[in-house]
Amino acid sequence: MKRLAFLLLLSLMATLAVGQRKVRLKHADMLKGGQRGEVRVDRVIGNVVFVQNNTTIYCDSAYFNRSRNQVEAFGRIRIEDGDSVTVTALSLVYDGNLKTAYLRKNVVFVKLATATLYTDFLDYIRPRGLAKYYNGGKLVDTTNTLTSRKGYYDVQTNLASFKTDVVGESPEYTMLADTLQYQTRARIVYFRNLTRLIDKTPEKKTAVYRSGYYDTRKKFSTLQSGDMSSPAYQMTGDEYELDDNGKMYKAHGNVVMTSKEDKLIVYGDHGKYDKKTGISKVYGNSYAAKITDEQDTVFLSADTLISIESKDPRKKLLLAYHHVKIFKNNMQGRADSVVYLGADSTMFMFRQPALWTDGNQMTADSIRIRITKKAIDKIYLVSNSFVVSQDSMLNFNQIKGRKMVASFRKENIHTVMVDGNGESIYYAIDEKEEQTDSVLVKSRVTMGMNRIICSNMKINFREGKVNNISFYKMPDASFTPPHEIKEDQTRLKGFVWRAAERPTREQVITRKRPAKTP
């Protein structure tokens, strides 16, 4: 008895399974039996309705092959699959065994409340919830329009995949790619290969990314290995976090920011740009390179570099702070922090600043550099000013004062004016040339040490070295012969020789291992 009940249950289950596989003709205005070749088919005409499970097929006319469980439909075709998918077309072959619809001509595939797919060639594989096209298609929602040569749409995950000649359009940008995916419910674009974005705003920005995603609702994206550019700027990095709503843009890893107009390139491990405030920040092994009109390059490194944009030229700033180093072929510098004002081309150096030009070292409590016609014009040493140079006999020539102004000609130091509390030590050197056995022998001898105290003085330079000094307002001068010079008399108060701190080009631009994100 139990065995019989079990067999009846198996029979019922098999019958139900067969019933689920079979396509049923639910309605037609007219039905005609006939042959198509050697196969018997039913010709159905007018308001035709077929049903299989939760799928309903509507058409104007069809050939119904019951033995093969197949429908070939024509006219105004509509498929309703459950309560979320509707497909229309002009031609259809439906395989009931595979539960697959082969739709052609003016195909419109609609997933309720998500997106609409347009194509002339679509295969809809119902068991997998997969709609595939091969000869061009277009997916449209309220945010984007995406076209490609090939693609598929997964009904269950709402994930659309696009392949070959992918073009995405929105009111804000155009996307070009070979491979792209789009989550239609969440409105998220996934970049699976090299993708190019062209901004439609007046800034005309373009971007190229290797991979990542973009949330079109939140206007937030995380991207890898990209390049962003506009007519004025360019930025590259290994990773990006872009927040269009908050107008905050971040880059990490091998960051390079270029100002094309200013011929300025900034490097670092991390960078961020706040569009609301116009403030850019680069930090972690950061340095900047600026090309001058003379095709020379100024390099500046610091822990952090900040650029402040403004429509008012007087408010445009470049800030560098902590462990600042400067290198130029004819000038090097060091300070804790630097401020550059673009409006009047002036650079301020703070906290134990030092500058080196040729063989001269300049220090003060603060230093101001004025740039005219993109070349150094004057350097102002403010409070506790000191200029030191070492002659060929390794003596230290020194100039000290309350304030000093160094003037330049053709980027070489020309004069130094001392204003207040002037003091000077410089050595007289006798240079001789003697001819011995057809060999020219040069000799140098220290003749003595000059020490002068004077309120104001003027020092003239030739080829970077002291040529002569003029003293004003009753100078107090003394001369000490070489044999009477004592070591404690050879240094003015506050003397510090900082040659070991003079940065090289390699010290300024060499990058250490990437810093961790704070």
The per-residue pLDDT for 29 is: 96
Closest CA to 287 of 264, 268, 270, 307: 268
- Give a yes or no: residue 148 inside a domain: no
The per-residue pLDDT for 112 is: 87
Q: How far apart are CA 239 and CA 235, in angstroms?
A: 11
Whether residues 344 and 435 share a domain: the answer is no
Whether residues 382 and 321 share a domain: the answer is no
Whether residues 245 and 345 share a domain: the answer is yes
pLDDT digits (tens, 9 = 90+) for 407-432: 988 777 888 899 988 999 988 888 77
The β-bridge relationship of strands 195-199 and 188-191 is: unpaired
For residue 307, what are the contacts with CB-CB under 8 A and spacing of at least 6? 266, 279, 280, 281, 317, 318, 319
Q: Which of 76, 100, 135 is the last residue of a domain?
A: 135
- Give a yes or no: residue 53 inside a domain: yes
Closest CA to 387 of 363, 367, 365: 363
pLDDT digits (tens, 9 = 90+) for 250-261: 999 999 988 887
Query: In the chain, which residues have pLDDT < 50?
Result: 1-2, 4-19, 515, 517-518
Whether residues 327 and 423 share a domain: the answer is no
Phi, psi (rounded to 5 degrees) for 505: -60, -40
Q: Which two tokens mark 309?
A: 């944009």
Q: Which of 299, 328, 352 is the last residue of a domain?
A: 352
Whether residues 367 and 307 share a domain: the answer is no
- The answer to whether 137 and 108 have CB atoms below 8 angstroms apart is no
- Give a yes or no: residue 273 inside a domain: yes
> By percentage, how much of the chain surpasses pLDDT 90?
55
| Cα torsion angle, 215, 220, 224, 229, sign | positive
Whether residues 123 and 38 share a domain: the answer is yes
| Cα torsion angle, 16, 17, 18, 22, sign | positive
Q: How far apart are CA 498 and CA 354, in angstroms?
A: 8
The per-residue pLDDT for 293 is: 60
- Give a yes or no: residue 17 inside a domain: no
Q: What is the CATH number for 477? A: 2.60.450
Q: Which of 106, 135, 164 is the last residue of a domain?
A: 135
- Give a yes or no: residue 172 inside a domain: no
Whether residues 345 and 394 share a domain: the answer is no
Q: How far apart are CA 414 and CA 358, in angstroms?
A: 12
Give 367-388 as a DSSP string.
EEEEEETTEEEEEEEEEEEEEE
Q: Which two tokens mark 489?
A: 């008399």
For residue 512, what are the contacts with CB-CB under 8 A and spacing of at least 6? 285
Whether residues 298 and 384 share a domain: the answer is no
Closest CA to 215 of 179, 252, 178, 186: 186
Whether residues 430 and 406 share a domain: the answer is yes
Residue 378 has a CB neighbour count (10 Å cut-off) of 17
Q: What is the CATH number for 73? A: 2.60.450.10
Whether residues 279 and 328 share a domain: the answer is yes
- Give a yes or no: residue 216 inside a domain: no
**Cα 260 → chain centroid:** 14
- Give a yes or no: residue 26 inside a domain: yes
Whether residues 376 and 499 share a domain: the answer is yes
- The answer to whether 220 and 243 have CB atoms below 8 angstroms apart is yes
Segment holding 150, helix H or strand E: strand 150-154
- The mean predicted confidence, pLDDT, of the chain is 87
Closest CA to 119 of 107, 130, 127, 111: 107
Q: How far apart are CA 179 and CA 166, in angstroms?
A: 7
Write the secondary structure of 174-229 as one string of H (helix), E (strand) and C (coil): EEEEEEEEEECCCCEEEECCCEEEEECCCCCCEEEEEEEEEECCCCEEEEEEEEEE
pTM of structure: 0.76
Whether residues 292 and 379 share a domain: the answer is no
* CA 459 vs CA 17, 208, 280, 331, 411: distances in Å: 106, 56, 42, 19, 17
Number of domains composing the chain: 3
Query: What residues make up the domain containing 487?
Result: 360-511
Q: What is the CA radius of gyration of the chain?
A: 41
pLDDT digits (tens, 9 = 90+) for 283-303: 999 999 887 665 678 899 999
Q: How far apart are CA 142 and CA 144, in angstroms?
A: 6
- Give a yes or no: residue 202 inside a domain: no
The per-residue pLDDT for 16 is: 37
